[in-house]
A and B are shown apart, each in its own frame.
Chain A
Amino acid sequence: MTNRDEAVMSPKFGNVPKSSARRRQGRVAVAADGWRRWWPYYVMMAPGILFFLIFHYLPIWEARIAFEQVRIVPPNIWVGIKHFQVLFSSPVFWQVLANTLIISAMKMVFFLPVPIIVALLLNEVRGGSLRKFIQSAIYLPHFLSWVVIAGIFIAALSPTDGAVNNIMGMAGIAPRSFMTDTGAIRWVLVFTEIWRSAGWDSLLYLAAIIAIDQQLYDAAEIDGANRWQKIRHVTLPGIVPTIATLFILNAGMFLNADLNQVINLSNDVVRSKIDIVDTYVYRIGLQTGEYSLATAAGLFKAVLGTMMIVIAHFVSKRLTGKGVW
């Protein structure tokens, strides 16, 4: 599961009231008599805390090799920002950074509206079982791995016997090998993203729509509003906060163009078009063994990404009251 998905999932659980817990804090603090009362909790939390320290904080310490020359016989030598200089003077790095931004931007423009439209349409469906049937079908792809989805689309986009080319053939269009087409491959990323998550993400908007006060619809009806007027003047304004939150969250995740997706849909022919920072780090790091340079690239992305997500959090909190966490 990608960061974006997790971030998207969080707010819906996050709006359970927190304030009541905070109000209680004063009262309980009085009852607390320090360590004697609380040590059992720390015993229970110990495995979790240890896990975070070892698998999340030790890597931050290990990331220092971005500033070191790795030697076969330790210790490594401190070289300062040398690897960053190499990185920033490498045209390949700027290319992968550009690819990352382009792919994220394309997803943002073409993906984000789809779940909103799906939710608006779903909300109009009156039959409960018809609606359930549609929902059950369109949520499914979200739970499939990118390996599986890539397998499905390599088959569906096959120039000889794939569904897409079969349909194009019926319309008399010559077959196209989308997976090895440098002009098409980014669109493959956008479309597979829509296929995988547009249905599931629509659930978030649908939840927001259902939370809209029914009286607003009744009032609109009395005023003689038709279906589209109700959508435009009641439903859409009602879900604007959700749209804003998800838009900002996506902006915060801009540098995460989804490693798992790209790595499975990529191949030698189209690599230059969809090589993103994460796949670049993987390739030069674990495949070529340039650990320091790869770590420098990863660190650059991490620092920039952290800044973006923190800004996104505060902007979102300011505008909609809902943050990333």
Chain B
Amino acid sequence: MALSRKTPIERIEYAIIVSTLLLLVVVTVQPILNLLAVSLSNPAKVPGMSGLTIIPRGFSFEVWSVLLQHPNVQRGIFNSIFITAVSTVIGVVGTALMAWGLSRPGLPGRKALFILVLVTIVFEPGIIPDYFVNKRLGLLDSYWSVILFKAVNAWYLIILIRFFEEIPQELLEAAELDGANPFQVFWHLVLPLAKPALATISLFYLVFHWNEFFRAMIYLNDQGKWPLQVVLRQFVIDGDKVAIVGANNASNNTGASQIDLRSLKAGMILLTIVPILAIYPLILKFFTKGTMSGALKG
């Protein structure tokens, strides 16, 4: 309907609707942009900077360069990338292989396996038994304790099974009649057809593992293995300044200690969300599309 045919009241209504939503956008984005502005300001000018501004005061990369040169932060970046990459690969491969079997209607024991998975969704005995299992397996203080946490996620598994079930059964049976074994059908037929689903699952895993901090916090005593989220928590939430500025600098008030803490914290928070921002266009493409098409079919 053309806007010109609308009555004045309708136009005012529309203006109110749009401005409400734009206010929501501001409330969502402004706190992040403020931190960006603080982190890009000249640290000397940060004290007294308003929480409302989104323009840096005296543009400077000092905070970012201090952070990126800091050994704890560098270790954190390496650890986060390592843990996220390995666990995502393990997760996607394990989930896809298991979903393929569970999507075949004739599989003996299919129902029992479904129940095996569903039970883990509704019943979670908590972190202490989890901790003891990792301890017993000798995984404490090892990357594996974090990598293997929810390595195969029951929800993502169910999502993938539903996708695989949509592949026309006739197609699979035809391939089997041609003498293809289940591995070949999976590799040459199922995986190419399920590319969008696999991309969605991969993004789920990437975001989940990048954001995970609690298991890393309780399982990894060795600070050298901490992912970025735990380093961030120690510095920003626990307020452990020494973690970032270093013990010597903190006691002598030299080096990084002279930089305003607020700007260091702002930089650290943003550093941790850079990868999420980098894949955000993909997230929008796959997550939203998956959601919308799912609903349209239903």
Binding site for B on A (CB under 8 A): 1, 6-7, 9-10, 12-18, 20-22, 24-25, 28-29, 31-32, 34-35, 38, 40-42, 44-45, 47-49, 51-52, 54-63, 65, 118, 121-122, 124-125, 130, 133-141, 143-148, 150-156, 158, 161-167, 195, 199, 203-204, 206-208, 210-211, 226-227, 259-260, 263-264, 278, 281-282, 285-286, 291, 294-295, 297-299, 301-303, 305-306, 309-310, 324-325
A/B interface sample: 22 pairs, CB < 8 A: A10-B155, A10-B159, A12-B298, A13-B290, A16-B165, A22-B105, A44-B100, A45-B101, A45-B113, A48-B97, A57-B120, A134-B24, A138-B25, A146-B211, A156-B34, A158-B51, A161-B48, A166-B52, A281-B127, A286-B131, A294-B126, A325-B121
Which of B24, B212, B268 has the most chain A CB atoms inside 10 A of its CB?
B24
> Are B106 and A28 in touch, CB under 8 angstroms?
yes
> Are B108 and A121 in touch, CB under 8 angstroms?
no
> Are A150 and B237 in touch, CB under 8 angstroms?
yes
> Are B288 and A135 in touch, CB under 8 angstroms?
yes
Instruction: Determine the residue in chain B with the shortest Cβ distance to A200.
Output: B287
Instruction: Determine the residue in chain B with the shortest Cβ distance to A133.
Output: B25
**Contact flags (1/0) for B257-297 with A, using CB distance below 8 Å?**
00000100110110011001000100110011011101111
Instruction: Tell me, in angstroms, the Cα distance from A57 to B20 when the chains sit together.
Output: 48
Kindly state whether residue B250 has any CB partner on chain A within 8 Å: no
Selected contact of B17 from candidates A125, A150, A199, CB within 8 Å: A125
Instruction: Tell me, in angstroms, the Cα distance from A190 to B22 when the chains sit together.
Output: 21
> Are B208 and A1 in touch, CB under 8 angstroms?
yes
Other than A34-B108, A140-B29, give 4 A-B pairs with Cβ distance below 8 A.
A41-B107, A121-B20, A140-B28, A324-B121
Instruction: Tell me, in angstroms, the Cα distance from A199 to B21 when the chains sit together.
Output: 10
> Are A151 and B265 in touch, CB under 8 angstroms?
yes
Nearest CB on A from B122, distance (A): 5
Selected contact of A130 from candidates B18, B104, B273, B280, CB within 8 Å: B18
- Of B55-63, B67-75, B228-236, B241-249, the segment with at least 4 beta carbons within 8 Å of chain A is B228-236
Selected contact of A285 from candidates B17, B128, B276, CB within 8 Å: B128
Nearest CB on A from B65, distance (A): 20
Interface hits, B206-227 → A, CB 8 Å: 207-208, 210-214, 218
Nearest CB on B from A291, distance (A): 6
User: Please, which residues of chain A bring their CB within 8 A of the CB of B132?
Assistant: 59, 62, 65, 291
> Are B32 and A152 in touch, CB under 8 angstroms?
yes
Name the interface size band of chain B: 35 or more
Kindly state whether residue B138 has any CB partner on chain A within 8 Å: no
> Are A302 and B125 in touch, CB under 8 angstroms?
yes
> Are A144 and B18 in touch, CB under 8 angstroms?
no
Instruction: Determine the residue in chain A with the shortest Cβ distance to B126.
Output: A298
Instruction: Tell me, in angstroms, the Cα distance from A20 to B158 when the chains sit together.
Output: 17
**Contact flags (1/0) for B25-57 with A, using CB distance below 8 Å?**
101111110110010000000001111100000
Nearest CB on A from B292, distance (A): 5
> Are A124 and B214 in touch, CB under 8 angstroms?
no
Instruction: Determine the residue in chain A with the shortest Cβ distance to B284.
Output: A136
> Are A52 and B106 in touch, CB under 8 angstroms?
no
User: Please, which residues of chain A bring their CB within 8 A of the CB of B283?
Assistant: 139, 143
> Are B129 and A12 in touch, CB under 8 angstroms?
no
User: Please, which residues of chain A bring their CB within 8 A of the CB of B213?
Assistant: 145-147, 260
> Are A44 and B98 in touch, CB under 8 angstroms?
yes
Instruction: Tell me, in angstroms, the Cα distance from A98 to B18 when the chains sit together.
Output: 40
A48-B98, A147-B236 known; A41 and B155 CB under 8 Å? no
Selected contact of B25 from candidates A137, A145, A299, CB within 8 Å: A137
> Are B17 and A12 in touch, CB under 8 angstroms?
no
Instruction: Determine the residue in chain B with the shortest Cβ distance to A291.
Output: B128
> Are B127 and A298 in touch, CB under 8 angstroms?
yes
Instruction: Tell me, in angstroms, the Cα distance from A38 to B20 when the chains sit together.
Output: 57
A60-B129, A62-B129 known; A13 and B162 CB under 8 Å? yes
User: Please, which residues of chain A bring their CB within 8 A of the CB of B66?
Assistant: none
Nearest CB on A from B245, distance (A): 17
Instruction: Tell me, in angstroms, the Cα distance from A226 to B98 when the chains sit together.
Output: 51
Which 5 interchain pairs have the tightest Cβ spacing? A298-B126, A48-B98, A207-B295, A15-B298, A145-B211
Nearest CB on A from B124, distance (A): 6
Selected contact of A65 from candidates B38, B129, B266, CB within 8 Å: B129
Kindly state whether residue B146 has any CB partner on chain A within 8 Å: no
Instruction: Tell me, in angstroms, the Cα distance from A134 to B20 when the chains sit together.
Output: 11
Instruction: Tell me, in angstroms, the Cα distance from A35 to B109 when the chains sit together.
Output: 11
User: Please, which residues of chain A bring their CB within 8 A of the CB of B133?
Assistant: 54-55, 58-59, 62
Nearest CB on B from A19, distance (A): 11
Nearest CB on A from B172, distance (A): 10
Instruction: Determine the residue in chain A with the shortest Cβ distance to B208.
Output: A1
> Are A12 and B294 in touch, CB under 8 angstroms?
yes
Nearest CB on A from B200, distance (A): 9
Instruction: Tell me, in angstroms, the Cα distance from A325 to B161 when the chains sit together.
Output: 12
> Are B17 and A124 in touch, CB under 8 angstroms?
yes
Kindly state whether residue B240 has any CB partner on chain A within 8 Å: no
Nearest CB on A from B106, distance (A): 4
Instruction: Tell me, in angstroms, the Cα distance from A102 to B14 when the chains sit together.
Output: 37
Instruction: Tell me, in angstroms, the Cα distance from A17 to B182 when the chains sit together.
Output: 24
Instruction: Tell me, in angstroms, the Cα distance from A130 to B266 when the chains sit together.
Output: 29
